[in-house]
Amino acid sequence: MKVYSGLTVIGVVVALSSAMYLSQSQRPHDLVAIKFCPKTANLPPRYGEEFSQRSQESLDKRYCRYEHKLLKEVWSQKQFESSTPLPESSFSIRHIPASNKSAIWFLVAPIASGIAYLSWTKKAEIDELSAHSELEAYKTCIKISTVSNQNEREFKNLQTNRVWDKQKVKHGFISIEAMQDKLKRSSLIQDKTHASTLKQFDLADSQMDKLRAENLRDKHKADKESQKILGKKSDSDSETSSNPESYIQERVNQLIEALKQWEDGWLYTIIKNNKPLWLIGSQGSGKTNTAGCIAIIRKYCFDAPIYQLIDRHATGENWKVWQLLDAQIKAESEEEIGQALEDACSRWLARIKEVPKQKQQLVIDEFTNLKKIPSCKESAMKFFSMHLTDTRKAKEYFIGINHYFTNESTVEGTFEARKAGTIQIKKFSANGETPLSRVQIVHGLVDSNGNELEEVEVTLPSWFEAVNIYNHFNGNKLDFEG
């Protein structure tokens, strides 16, 4: 920036010196000095030599001693223009050339002045651009300085307090025990304040969750109503858009029919049953996919939207299936899961009291691991015990996914309740990657006489895929024969 200031100064100096000094000269124009010196006519031999000389001297004295200076250009022009030009033979003409012609400096002056102007423009531009960053840097600097000084004041304050506390103790104004008690109480208040603040955050979170759930419920209601209205008004040829309700109903009927037809209808019986359903099996056995299928079928065929999805890997590898469910609330982190389990228990109680007409669903994955998480352990055990009885009464379909279903993986002392109150389906994989169609219903099925059936071997149809089922209700009709 100093370069531009320097250039400006140099430019101005050069411009002024070029225009006012270097280009100036004493005699800037070509001149002519003219003397009128006529010759005498009194020449010998008519007149004597002496007389002739005197006549000439007289003429010179009268005319030739005066020199007239005028612009050469004007002299030439006048001589040219005049009809009777002055006889140059009678004149003594002396040319006086212009001294030191330096007109070129007059061209240097504007250039130097222009450079000065442009340099200052650049400087002004840089100043304008840097002004904001300069101001921000000043703000940062002043803030840092203030924070440092505040900390210093705080530190010195503490130091001084400590010195005076020591003095108080030394002179017996206060005992050490009283001082410690005071500190303890102060720390207790801080802890309480901290706990209270955390609760306030939790409260705000739960209120937001509630609001979100209500909004989603309203959205679904509104969608449903819109579909009803559009279904009545639209005259489109498209099957889906002309009457969505009847279209969905048709697809529902087709699917239910196919489910009823499949291997004596065991699949339909299980999906319709409102007992908690547990899918168990090793990795790669397709538990998540089957759970997704059942949830989607319950959503469309039994009008039960998925209210809550609890899975530590909800947005991970299982996302492809879970996204089809359009769950209203998802719990993924450990904190969210712990809270979701607590919420579910209280929600069931509330719904039991309300006796709701609307069914809804809860899907929970990887339950085995939840018990191992310290923050979720207690709520998971409570949740497991409660779900055995409360979900059915609260009209909430429950699908749980677990690797196995032992006391260790669930809750001790619930074996009988698990057997009586849940449906347990075991899935298999061939090599730990490819799911098999083989399924074992460990318990939960009863025969026509009401006898409990155990370890019933059945298979799943090939079209029983979450994506296929979802597409069946969203444009692509499922081929149940394939």
Question: Which positions touch other proteins (CB under 8 A)?
Answer: 8, 12, 15-16, 18-19, 23, 28-29, 34, 36, 38, 63, 68-71, 73-75, 77-78, 82, 84, 86-87, 90, 101, 103, 106-107, 109-110, 113-114, 116-117, 120-121, 123-124, 127-128, 131, 134-135, 138-139, 142-143, 146
Q: How far is the CB of 17 from other proteins (least distance, A)?
A: 11
Residue 137 CB, shortest distance to other proteins, in Å, is 10
Nearest to 295 by CA among 282, 313, 277: 277
Dihedral of CA atoms 328, 322, 361, 482 in degrees, nearest 10, equals: 140
- CA 277 to CA 365: how far, in whole Å? 12
- Nearer to other proteins by Cβ, of 139 and 182: the residue is 139
Nearer to other proteins, 95 or 212 (CB): 95
- Residue closer to other proteins, measured from CB, 78 or 377: 78
Q: Tell me phi and psi for residue 358, to 5 degrees.
A: -80, 125
Q: Count of CB atoms within 10 A of residue 328's CB?
A: 21
Contact, 333 vs 316, CB < 8 A? no
- Closest approach of other proteins to the CB of residue 198, in Å: 24
Q: What does DSSP say about strands 31-36 and 91-96: parallel, antiparallel, or unpaired?
A: antiparallel
**Smallest Cα–Cα separation from 293: which of 84, 439, 77?**
439
DSSP3 helix / strand / coil % (the chain, rounded to 5): 60, 15, 25
Q: Please, what is the minimum distance in Å from the beta carbon of residue 45 to other proteins? A: 23
Least gap, CB of 128 to other proteins (angstroms): 6
b/e map of 181-204 (b: 16 or more CB within 10 Å)? eeeeeeeeeeeeeeeeeeeeeeee
Contacts of 33 by beta carbon, 8 Å cutoff, 6+ apart: 67, 68, 69, 93, 94, 95, 96
Q: How far is the CB of 412 from other proteins (least distance, A)?
A: 55
Residue with smaller CB distance to other proteins, 64 or 179: 64
Q: How far is 389 from 33, CA to CA, in rounded Å?
A: 133
Nearer to other proteins, 73 or 303 (CB): 73
Q: How far apart are CA 234 and CA 216, in angstroms?
A: 26
Closer to other proteins by Cβ: residue 26 or 451:
26
What the block records as the tokens of 309 is 């999805």
Q: Which is nearer to other proteins, 87 or 172 (CB)?
A: 87
Residue number, 36 or 47, with CB nearest to other proteins: 36
